[in-house]
Amino acid sequence: MPLITIEKAEKFYDGWSKCYLLHLLDRQGRRRTYQIEDHGAVASVLPYDPERKVAILVYQVRPPLIFAGETERLYEAPAGVIETEGAEECARREALEEAGVAVTTLEYLGSFWAAPGISTERSSIYLAPYSIADRVTEGGGLAAEHEDIEVHELPLSQLAEMADSFQISCMKTFVAIQALRQRRPELF
């Protein structure tokens, strides 16, 4: 017998994200309810230029941060919800839309739960080398999505300092930077 069985899932919000009230039954026969948020899996990519020793991060407004009383923007690796494509294609699409870089080679770091106590979001994280020739647009996101994205190409040494001083507060971005530091220390 499983530890917990979902007897019923009631959707109480259906927008870009969906929210459910789960009715649970445990092995001892106890019932309880639990709220979750569901918006699907995401892909994130840290584009980096090994020749120039820089990486691209995006800087954008995040309303949940404002709600939490924090800064309204933070540095992030380009990321987005996996739509009809797979995780790799989503990472490529987001690198192009948000950062303006056409990446071809992706190095898979893993798939990680973002907030398993409340959300079904699982993030596939990638590293992607690029060159100056791969910068094909300005980036900045899609106008239709009303994204207010600034594109920043930063020295990898600065990214390391930012990570070490906790100026990188986006978990998926922090993971990608630390993985790149571990795998390619000569770039820092």
Q: Where are the domains of the chain?
A: 4-38, 42-187
The response to whether 150 counts as a known ligand-binding position is: no
58 vs 150: CA distance, rounded Å: 6
Q: Is residue 83 a known part of a binding site?
A: no
CATH class of the domain whose range is 42-187: alpha beta
What pLDDT, in 10s, does the model give residues 36-79? Answer: 999 899 999 999 999 999 999 999 888 889 999 988 889 999 99
79 is in an annotated binding site: yes
Q: Is the pTM of this model over 0.95?
A: no
Q: Is 37 assigned to a binding site?
A: no
pLDDT higher than threshold 80 for residue 140: no
Greatest distance between any 2 Cα atoms in the chain:
62
Question: Would you state the pLDDT for residue 71?
Answer: 83
Residue 3, classed as helix, strand or coil, is coil
| pLDDT computed for residue 63 by the predictor | 86
Residue-level pLDDT at 143: 67
Distance CA 71, CA 80 (A): 21
